[in-house]
Amino acid sequence: KSPPSASYANIIEPVIEKYNNLKNKNPFDPTYHFIIGFLYFFTERYEESIAYFQFVIRSNRNKPLMRLMLSICFERTMLHDFALKQLELGLSEDGIPEVKKELLYRYAVMKKNLGDVISARKALTELLKMGDYKDAKLLLETLPSEGKIIDIRGDER
């Protein structure tokens, strides 16, 4: 069985080609880069998405959303340091609340997974001030207390 992206590729490729032709006529219009980036993302072609999303950022459009999308692309290509950096940059920008919530949530999860409980707690607390979001409340409640370390066996000490 092929991955879902393979089944969409036949449908999406002609659309990408159409927008590439439009982009070639207007190479500095970030709208085409934005659309093509999402089309590549939809078909799980994250490396291509990254290039297009970076162009949109350089045009100063939709920066927090593009930082979020870049972080997801980097995470899915196992470039976790780059993913975390994009989340940090995205949080430093003014964005719509829905994007900020997802940035905070992903940042908290990454920090928790890296063992940075203090940063995770701070991000989750800020997120929950904006209202309930996904399982943020549960994540916050289950974070170990400062000073406690989770060892590789998963036990607190």
Q: Which residues share a beta bridge with 74?
A: none
Distance CA 108, CA 79 (A): 17
- Percent of the chain scored above 70 by pLDDT? 89
Backbone φ, ψ for residue 10 (5° rounding): -65, -30
Quickly state the pLDDT bin for 59 (edges 50, 70, 90).
very high
CA–CA separation, 75 and 106 (whole Å): 10
Total-model pTM: 0.86
Distance of CA 82 to the CA centre of its chain: 11
Residue 100 to residues 17, 58, 61, 64, 124: CA-CA distances in angstroms?
Answer: 32, 20, 16, 8, 12
DSSP state of 23: H
> What structural domains does the chain harbor?
1-61 (1.25.40), 81-145 (no CATH)
134 conformational bin, left if phi > 0, alpha if psi -120 to 50, beta if neither? left
Digit-coded pLDDT (tens) for 2-58 = 565 667 778 999 999 999 999 999 999 999 999 999 999 999 999 999 999 999 999
Residue 63: the pLDDT is 96
- CB of 61 closer than 8 Å to CB of 34: yes
Whole-angstrom distance, CA of residue 60 vs CA of residue 30: 9
Q: For residues 53 and 66, give the distance between their C-alpha atoms in angstroms, rounded to a whole number.
A: 6
